[in-house]
Amino acid sequence: MLRKHLLFNLVALVIPLLISGCFSVSDQEQLLSSSGIIRTDNPDCLGTTLLPETPETLDKQGFTLVSWNIYKENKAGWQQDLLALSNTSNFILLQEAYLTEELNQLLKTSGQQWDMISAFQYRGIHAGVMTIADIPSLARCAERSTEPLAFLPKSSLITYYPVKNHRYNLLVANIHAINFTVGIEEFTQQLKQIKAVLAHHKGPIVFGGDFNTWSDRREIALDELIGTEELGLLKVEFVSKEAVLVWGHRLDHIFFRGLKIIKAEIIPVESSDHYPLKVQFEFVYETEVTNNQE
């Protein structure tokens, strides 16, 4: 009963904002990047098998990745926390990122590359998921799924990165999952779209983000769709008691394949209602993972 009450309150809040013009949603997916170019020719996520060569590659030993819902940059201290994470990580997967002047300036200071899918604009500011990396991505594609009750899209972003002396590229998937639904049909459909892309890829994968798994049904659906032998993905198990829980469930997760965990930790912060998840990975060359399409 409490959940339904919260859902109806959210709808009552969002609809006036939509009518007022604070939010706007483009008819086409808009891919943004550190190059400053906004692309609307979003490629098919299943058609990114032929990728260009690049002189910049990931270190063959491994990398450190952070996944963090930055809470629309609404809380004080997010700049300091994000910069600290940037200084110690090769990848940062942000959810609820707003491409404000403050975030733009911070990204220039860090010197890292980034890609973003604009789920919508709020007062002219692009909002969505963003993947930050030490090197530019080889290719990127995105998916949007509209919240059935809040009427605003949630988004996911797929980016590919070359690995030194590795046969396959690293696929990094970043998601902000559909949240406000009565059932789980829309939630599972969004996951199925991502699953199709992951099943198409040969080689290492990291899939992280805010999955909004605040119920038993959602968590079971996530594990049944993504944490399966079919994809060969494993879930990072964080032993820290610092996790943020909603109705007893964790919202944020990281899945991986073709990698070995060196260290996994949850970092308590006061600058968001989510804590960053940080994982140090090492590439597994001896048992390179392929799917059944090879």
Sheet holding 234-235, edge to edge: 139-146, 153-161, 170-176, 205-210, 252-257, 234-235
Quick check: is 48 in a domain? Answer: yes
Domain encompassing residue 185? 2-283
Quick check: is 288 in a domain? Answer: no
Cα(122)–Cα(185) distance, integer angstroms: 27
Quick check: is 87 in a domain? Answer: yes
CATH of the domain at 130: 3.60.10.10
Calculate the alpha carbon distances from 40 to 28, 127, 140, 162, 251 in Å: 6, 15, 12, 24, 30
Quick check: is 294 in a domain? Answer: no
**Which backbone phi and psi does 72 adopt, to 5 degrees?**
60, 15
Cα(163)–Cα(233) distance, integer angstroms: 19
**For strand 38-39 and strand 30-33, is the pairing parallel, antiparallel, or unpaired?**
antiparallel
Calculate the alpha carbon distances from 187 to 141, 144, 195, 219, 267 in Å: 20, 12, 13, 11, 27
pLDDT per residue, tens digit, the chain (294 aa), is: 344 444 444 454 454 455 456 889 887 789 999 988 888 888 878 765 556 666 789 998 999 999 999 999 999 999 999 999 999 999 999 999 999 999 999 999 999 999 999 999 999 999 999 999 999 999 999 999 988 877 789 999 999 999 998 889 999 999 999 998 889 999 999 999 999 999 999 999 999 999 999 999 999 999 999 988 889 999 999 987 777 788 889 999 999 999 999 999 999 999 999 999 999 999 997 544 444 444
Quick check: is 118 in a domain? Answer: yes
In the numeric block, the tokens 């605003």 are attached to 152
**Which backbone phi and psi does 197 adopt, to 5 degrees?**
-70, -45
Burial class (CB in 10 A: 0-12, 13-18, 19+), 267: middle
pTM: 0.89
- Count of the separate structural domains present in the chain: 1
Quick check: is 291 in a domain? Answer: no
Cα(52)–Cα(71) distance, integer angstroms: 35
Quick check: is 290 in a domain? Answer: no
Quick check: is 293 in a domain? Answer: no
